[in-house]
Amino acid sequence: MSDSEPNAESGPDIDPDGEPTPVPIADPELGADARTRVEALLADGRLADGPEVRRFEAEFAAYCNADEAVATANGTAALHATLEAIGLEEGDAVITSPFSFVASANAIRLAGGKPVFADIDPETYTLAPAEVERVLGERDDIVGILPVHLYGLPAAMPALCDLAAEHDLFVVEDACQAHGAKIDGRRVGQFGDAACFSFYPTKNMTSGEGGMIVTDRDDIADRAASYVDHGRQADGTDGYDHAALGHNYRMTSIAAAIGRAQLERLPEFNRARRENAAYYDERLADLPLETPTEPAGTRHVYHQYTIRTAERDALKATLSERDVGTGIYYETPIHRQPAYETVSTAAARLPRAERAAQEVLSVPVHPGLSKRDRRTVVETVRDHFATQ
């Protein structure tokens, strides 16, 4: 963890001697700048799609070092529109992670495809390249890979992209939890044919609801921009020329105004998350639990700080007694969800994902944590193990 300071005690600590207050698992921070920008927009009156959305797209593309960006109503819409733009066809099989929010696999189904799950690496919780390779050896109907950068840690993109090149597959990065994460100095969003982000309020930056597709491929950007606007033809005659089937997945200008203000603060937010993570890493290292890993060359942005222990449920209860919010991401792997019962590719046993689902617990790591909040989290976890 190179650019953080494990001993740093920064952050607000308004009442250091008072009673510990509840520590929420997420606490989105919308500053005065976001308010000012929204007020300006309300005065302007162009509330739906408009120039503010174009500005957000340009700024987000620049942040990701991508040629193009297409704003969407949310991250799920970004994933769905991207797969439609890539030209996924009925029954096309796409490899993805079983250990993610259900939207990753839902997007494949919404675009007519078949999600095929490959197991995860038990340390990074992201798609294991060896498992992807095994699936590719067993099936000849795979057309793409949709890796998920889970909890803010990039998936093993170099190895996955090598496999994709070898088998002539597309790659769509699900970067919904990883704004600003890097591999070898390159931000996520630059590895696949396209990448998708979410701006849901708990994410590293928010726009209320919102999403973004980034890509260097003009064809994907053009088709996705059309798909999110009912297949509208950019050069149509009267604004009502619809070249293809599409959806209303457009971002609002209000969301874009919030998103632009948040993007400016993303580096500061990610630094605070990394500093909080470093604080926990150091103070939980000697306990019988696993702290998050950050493989060499990667920059984790700690959308979640997820620890792993066989006594997950008891630890969660202890934290809850002290009003420390926690989250289990995810208690049911996607292939075990009721909505996937009828999906034949969900029948596989994926032991690493299934075990992780029983043992992971995320504790608050967001930028709004005070020094006292962090101490409360550490002391509660330590007390829990001291009394075992």
Ligand X SMILES: Cc1ncc(COP(=O)(O)O)c(C=O)c1O
Contact residues: ligand X, CB under 6 A: 74-76, 100-101, 103-104, 148, 174, 176-177, 198, 200, 211
Q: Check: CB of residue 79 under 8 Å from CB of residue 249.
A: no
As measured in angstroms, the least distance from the Cβ of 76 to ligand X is: 3
Instruction: Give the residue closest to ligand X by C-beta.
Output: 75
Decide whether 4 or 298 has the Cβ nearer to ligand X.
Answer: 298
Decide whether 366 or 372 has the Cβ nearer to ligand X.
Answer: 366
As measured in angstroms, the least distance from the Cβ of 78 to ligand X is: 8
As measured in angstroms, the least distance from the Cβ of 329 to ligand X is: 8
Decide whether 74 or 376 has the Cβ nearer to ligand X.
Answer: 74
Decide whether 179 or 352 has the Cβ nearer to ligand X.
Answer: 179
Q: Which two tokens stand for residue 379?
A: 């002391």
As measured in angstroms, the least distance from the Cβ of 105 to ligand X is: 9
Name the packing angle between helices 371-386 and 312-321 (round to 10°): 130
As measured in angstroms, the least distance from the Cβ of 327 to ligand X is: 11
Burial (0-12, 13-18, 19+ Cβ within 10 Å), 347: exposed
Decide whether 214 or 278 has the Cβ nearer to ligand X.
Answer: 214
Q: Which two tokens stand for residue 322?
A: 């002290």
Q: Write out the E strands in the chain.
A: 68-72, 93-96, 114-117, 142-146, 170-174, 182-183, 186-187, 194-198, 211-215, 298-299, 305-308, 360-363
DSSP string, 135-146: HHHH-S-EEEEE
Decide whether 107 or 164 has the Cβ nearer to ligand X.
Answer: 107
As measured in angstroms, the least distance from the Cβ of 288 to ligand X is: 29
As measured in angstroms, the least distance from the Cβ of 179 to ligand X is: 11
* Residue of 121, 133, 196 whose CA lies nearest to 161: 133
As measured in angstroms, the least distance from the Cβ of 187 to ligand X is: 17
Q: Roughly how many angstroms between the first and final C-alpha of the chain, as a whole number? A: 30
Decide whether 177 or 309 has the Cβ nearer to ligand X.
Answer: 177
Decide whether 251 or 289 has the Cβ nearer to ligand X.
Answer: 251
As measured in angstroms, the least distance from the Cβ of 369 to ligand X is: 21
How many other β-carbons are positioned within 10 Å of the β-carbon of residue 76?
23
Q: Residue 362 and residue 82: Cα distance in Å, rounded?
A: 29
Decide whether 132 or 146 has the Cβ nearer to ligand X.
Answer: 146
3-state SS record for 201-253: CCCCCCCCCCEEEEECCHHHHHHHHHHCECCECCCCCCCCCECCCCCECCCCH
3-state SS record for 101-120: CCHHHHHHHHCCCEEEECCE
Q: What is the CA radius of gyration of the chain?
A: 21
CA torsion angle for 273, 355, 103, 346 (degrees, to 10)? 160
Decide whether 76 or 124 has the Cβ nearer to ligand X.
Answer: 76
Q: Residue 166 and residue 97: Cα distance in Å, rounded?
A: 20
Burial (0-12, 13-18, 19+ Cβ within 10 Å), 371: middle
As measured in angstroms, the least distance from the Cβ of 101 to ligand X is: 4
